[in-house]
A = this chain, B = another copy of it.
Amino acid sequence: MALAETASDFNNSPISWNTIVEAHQRVRPRIHRTPVLTSESLNGLAGALLFFKCENLQKTGSFKIRGATNAILSLSEEEARRGVVTHSSGNHAAAVACAARWRGIEAFIVMPKNAPAVKCRAVEHYGGKITFCEPNVKARAGTAAKIQAETGAVMVHPYDDDRIIAGQATAAKELLEEVPDLHAVLAPVSGGGLLSGTCLGAKGTRGNVRVYGCEPERADDAYRSLTSGKLQALETSDTIADGLRASLAPRTFAILKKHVDGILLVSEEEIVATMRLVWERMKIVIEPSSAVAVAPLLRSSGRTEIGMGGVSQPKIGIILSGGNVELKV
């Protein structure tokens, strides 16, 4: 499965390899090249060599700053003057607020009222103007559209946007540059911006790497969409993985249909246990959404589920998407 080199290869998604390279050049001076960490302890549990791309250590605490920075630095002067608006459960919100501050423009942020306090504080820290809404997909989009109509601000959608997807692709691109011989890469999936970008960034760097999306059982729209071949909506979800409560868009669905090798589902119990295990063994803070992409590798069927049942010590990359979580002691 080789990467599309021309726009016509993608339905509604003209993201060529060159687009990703340009996005990387655009965001690189602003963001961290996050470290790739390993853990002997987790290798032992997985029966594999795991390479963790630590976007939890990224600026604003998640990969979202990659896409937001690429989108906002791509705006024309006329667009930028109008400011930007978006809706997000938190990490994209903070990223847009931060990137808007870098560009010196206003950011209007719609957040569901059950977003974690730590994520709201981050948006405020970067000077974003928050409007809260009901915690469902329809309310988020509706509230953002209303603000857009009132202010003229440019919509920076959290995933239904080629500039966002190209930005998110740079995390997998960096991971494959650092560990070129990975057998597979796992990333969480919600709206599909990170997973689409991971497919393009990983397979663009190394054509035959497998890419899997990981999703909570309680928010399994990507699994159902890919299995049925028809885009399935997720009206609402109460998974602990607060970053994964959105649904695929036609744009991300089209990329995943073509490029993703499968979707792995995990239970709430697996998410919590895995998050605690990574905190305890690796001493890094990851949020529940990040744990979703680690959990499948810790069950006995894990290697088989990603087609590595017969491979001794396969090399697996994992995108740790973010670290914005409330911790108690």
Report which A residues bind B (CB closer than 8 A): 35, 37, 56-57, 61, 118, 272, 275-276, 279-280, 282-286, 288, 323, 325-329
Point out the residues of chain B lying under 8 angstroms from A275, CB to CB. 329
User: CA separation between A118 and B281, bound complex, in Å?
Assistant: 10
Do B118 and A280 have beta carbons less than 8 Å apart?
yes
User: CA separation between A279 and B327, bound complex, in Å?
Assistant: 8
User: CA separation between A284 and B35, bound complex, in Å?
Assistant: 13
Do A283 and B323 have beta carbons less than 8 Å apart?
yes
User: CA separation between A285 and B327, bound complex, in Å?
Assistant: 10
User: CA separation between A35 and B35, bound complex, in Å?
Assistant: 10
Do B329 and A327 have beta carbons less than 8 Å apart?
yes
Point out the residues of chain B lying under 8 angstroms from A285, CB to CB. 279-280, 283-285
Do A280 and B57 have beta carbons less than 8 Å apart?
no
User: CA separation between A279 and B35, bound complex, in Å?
Assistant: 17
Point out the residues of chain B lying under 8 angstroms from A284, CB to CB. 57, 283-285
User: CA separation between A323 and B280, bound complex, in Å?
Assistant: 8
Option from B57, B61, B272 in Cβ contact (under 8 Å) with A329: B272
User: CA separation between A286 and B35, bound complex, in Å?
Assistant: 18
User: CA separation between A272 and B325, bound complex, in Å?
Assistant: 17
Do A329 and B329 have beta carbons less than 8 Å apart?
no
Do B61 and A283 have beta carbons less than 8 Å apart?
yes
User: CA separation between A276 and B326, bound complex, in Å?
Assistant: 9
Enumerate 5 A-B pairs (CB-CB under 8 Å) in ascending A order.
A279-B327, A280-B285, A280-B327, A283-B285, A326-B329
Point out the residues of chain B lying under 8 angstroms from A276, CB to CB. 327, 329
Point out the residues of chain B lying under 8 angstroms from A327, CB to CB. 276, 279-280, 327-329
Point out the residues of chain B lying under 8 angstroms from A272, CB to CB. 329
Q: Name which residue of chain B comes closest to A275, CB basis.
A: B329
Point out the residues of chain B lying under 8 angstroms from A279, CB to CB. 285, 327
Point out the residues of chain B lying under 8 angstroms from A288, CB to CB. 329
Return A219 CB to nearest CB of chain B, in Å. 18
Return A154 CB to nearest CB of chain B, in Å. 27
Point out the residues of chain B lying under 8 angstroms from A329, CB to CB. 272, 275-276, 288, 325-328
User: CA separation between A286 and B56, bound complex, in Å?
Assistant: 15
User: CA separation between A232 and B153, bound complex, in Å?
Assistant: 65
Return A61 CB to nearest CB of chain B, in Å. 6
